[in-house]
Chain A
Amino acid sequence: MTPPTVAPSAGARSRSAAQALDRRDRAWWQDLLARAVVGLGGISAVLFIAAIIVFIASQGFEFAWHRLSWSELLTGARWEPTAKPPSYGAWPLIAGTAWITAVAMAVAVPLSFAAAIYVGEFATGRRREWLKIVIETLAAIPSVVWGVVGLQVMNPLIQRLFDTPVGLNVLNAGIILGLMAAPIMTTLAEDALKAVPDAHREAAEALGATRWQTIRKVVLPHARPGLSAAVLLGIGRAFGETIAVLMASGHRLLPPSSVFDSAATITATIAAELGEAAVDSDHYQALFVLGLVLFCITFTINLLADWLVRGGRGRA
């Protein structure tokens, strides 16, 4: 090895280099600024959630604190905010929401799980792509269009098929909500299936199990938390849908006793009455209280689903 020949400027260069190490140049400040700006963007999501809680709670607070009986709200059988004296019993709305959500899930769970299993585990290539496009298209149909379908298509259909006087009922709204919730549930369920490690599948198939046996004995049990989360989020969707259900449910403020009864949901009631209630009146505030209840329920559902998905992943 020959000893290195030192270029004359070398020492000087490393000294000036050392000074540059402390100079905060434009790029450095730019990075700081960018970090602050995108950080604000990130925090805005938290701020929005907090603001939703604050604004909705504050709008209904005065009424909820002083004049509202919570037991009446949750169990009272009459929702007559414009009667004299007004009555704020939301039980018909709660019952209507529960009925319609139940029907929606009865439609959506089999549909979406079958689709998820088929698309995720059996379908390949072009057919898979096409099925996904169909599911995406279904998801893209706006809720007000679903409402029109409920009103103009399902309504006469149900009247004719089941020989009922009104076709705008729990069944109509439930089917529509089920179809609306199905795409997102399919996607979530497929994600849950995908999260099952391939090693598990291969191990089962190496033992001679057929595809279906593998799915039933290995994949489905393993994906159960994710599938439960899919159902939960589907419930959240159906629960929170407004316009379609307002148009298709018949909006009758009585608790339904069969799927052929018309019904009203919490969401639809807010949508139907907010425009008529005078700002800051008891009625107006009561609608915000309903909104807060809705928010709390969906918030819980979302947290639970999130927890399930994480728990499921942790186990895998």
Chain B
Amino acid sequence: MNPGETPFHATPLEQRRQLVQRLVRMLLLCVTLLLLVPVLGILGVLVFEGAPALSWSFLFDKPQRLGAAGGIWPALVGTIWLTATALAVALPLGVAAAIYLSEYARDNRLTRLINLAIVNLAGVPSIVHALFGVGAFVHFLHFGESILAAGCTLAVMTMPVVIVATRESLKAVPKAFREACWNMGATRWQTIWRIVLPNSVSGILTGVILVVCRAVGETAPIMFTGAVFLRLVTPETVFDRTMALSFHLYTVSTQVTDVPRAVPFAVALTLILVVLAMNSIAIWFRMRLRGRKKW
């Protein structure tokens, strides 16, 4: 070691390593930022191309010329119906399953089977869910092609999302709270109802929002189970067929001729605004709850 050089001075080898480290870090950041390109690009294009066609009358009018003109009101209402139906089925089932897995189930074969089923249910392609919906709900249960059949199909598809989100938030409630409650002579259910559930509302709401996002955006599962190309009246019961925003976007993009370029973009913009609004609520919710400690 030369005099005057501190023992902490980097050797040339170490300097090179530091350089490599910095380069790698830059490279990784750049690649990660590549993910920004599609997000910003898509949002930009949708706003740029779609916003001029977006107006109150576009939202609240009935479609004309198979959707090439007019508005999207029946599709908007239909999507709300479908989403509500999916939620009504998926939420109770999913929350119940999550409670069972997190609060009651022991580590046995049945529990492992259920977990495996959830993983697989989440990974089944949406078109397979559509086939299932056609076979089970439309034909076997005689729902016909209807909001009910399509909603149930969406529910089966989104149930794993509710389960995972709810289970995570149930797990975040410390075990000591449960034990303290059990020691008071509370039954498992009393403990869940009074202590665990009130503290996992955030997870359940996240589940709700994720279901809404999926249900609003999915096309394949509903196109054979209840969504129709054109139906100018809004649905009145769950046994009606209905237009839906996502399916409408598919048809005006691929099936209808002479559609002005702005129309699909405007529909897509509406769709994505709904989805992103829900998503932002979820993110905002998460951040707000993180800031407020209850224990």
CA distance A35 to B99 in the complex (A): 9
**In the complex, how many angstroms separate the beta carbon of A124 from the nearest chain B beta carbon?**
12
Instruction: State which of A41, A210, A288, A306 has its C-beta within 8 Å of the C-beta of B18.
Output: A210
- By a CB distance below 8 angstroms, the chain A residues around B159 are 44-45, 48
Measured CB to CB, the nearest residue on chain B to A35 is: B104
Instruction: State which of B117, B188, B218, B276 has its C-beta within 8 Å of the C-beta of A31.
Output: B188
Give the number of residue pairs across the A-B interface with Cβ within 8 Å.
272
Interface: A202 (CB within 8 A): no
Interface: A64 (CB within 8 A): no
Q: Are A41 and B96 in contact (CB under 8 A)?
A: yes
Q: Are A270 and B118 in contact (CB under 8 A)?
A: no
**In the complex, how many angstroms separate the beta carbon of A20 from the nearest chain B beta carbon?**
11
**In the complex, how many angstroms separate the beta carbon of A154 from the nearest chain B beta carbon?**
10
Measured CB to CB, the nearest residue on chain A to B105 is: A42
Instruction: Spot the interface stretch: A11-19, A69-77, A79-87, A111-119.
Output: A111-119
| Chain B interface extent, by class | 35 or more
Q: Mark B127-138, 1 if CB is under 8 A from A, else 0.
A: 111111011100
Instruction: State which of B38, B116, B120, B190 has its C-beta within 8 Å of the C-beta of A179.
Output: B38
Q: Are B32 and A119 in contact (CB under 8 A)?
A: yes
Interface: A253 (CB within 8 A): no
Q: Are B31 and A115 in contact (CB under 8 A)?
A: yes
- By a CB distance below 8 angstroms, the chain A residues around B45 are 149, 153
Q: Are A302 and B127 in contact (CB under 8 A)?
A: no
Task: Please indicate which of the listed interface residues B28, B105, B134, B139 has the most CB atoms of chain A within 10 Å of its own CB.
Answer: B28
- By a CB distance below 8 angstroms, the chain A residues around B216 are 142
CA distance A34 to B189 in the complex (A): 6
A114-B32, A122-B25 given; A267·B140 CB < 8 A: no
Q: Are A131 and B32 in contact (CB under 8 A)?
A: yes
Interface: B279 (CB within 8 A): yes
**In the complex, how many angstroms separate the beta carbon of A296 from the nearest chain B beta carbon?**
10
Interface: A213 (CB within 8 A): yes
A111-B35, A137-B279 given; A303·B265 CB < 8 A: no
Instruction: State which of A117, A145, A243, A247 has its C-beta within 8 Å of the C-beta of B42.
Output: A145
- By a CB distance below 8 angstroms, the chain A residues around B93 are 41, 44
Instruction: Spot the interface stretch: A49-57, A88-96, A98-106, A256-264.
Output: A49-57
Q: Are A242 and B127 in contact (CB under 8 A)?
A: yes
Task: Please indicate which of the listed interface residues B131, B213, B272 has the most CB atoms of chain A within 10 Å of its own CB.
Answer: B131
Q: Are A295 and B268 in contact (CB under 8 A)?
A: no
Instruction: Spot the interface stretch: B58-66, B171-179, B231-239, B249-257.
Output: B249-257
Measured CB to CB, the nearest residue on chain B to A107 is: B34
**In the complex, how many angstroms separate the beta carbon of B124 from the nearest chain A beta carbon?**
6
Measured CB to CB, the nearest residue on chain B to A43 is: B114
Q: Are B20 and A274 in contact (CB under 8 A)?
A: no
Measured CB to CB, the nearest residue on chain B to A116 is: B32
Interface: A162 (CB within 8 A): no
A115-B35, A210-B18 given; A270·B283 CB < 8 A: no
Top 10 nearest A-B pairs by Cβ distance? Answer: A41-B96, A240-B125, A142-B217, A42-B100, A114-B31, A55-B135, A31-B187, A34-B189, A38-B100, A118-B28
Residues of A within 8 A of B (CB): 27-28, 30-31, 33-35, 37-46, 48-49, 51-52, 55-56, 58-59, 110-111, 114-115, 117-119, 122, 131, 133-138, 140-145, 147-149, 151-153, 179, 182-183, 186, 208, 210-213, 233, 236-237, 239-243, 247, 267, 270-271, 274-275, 279, 287-288, 291, 294-295, 298-299, 301-303, 305-306
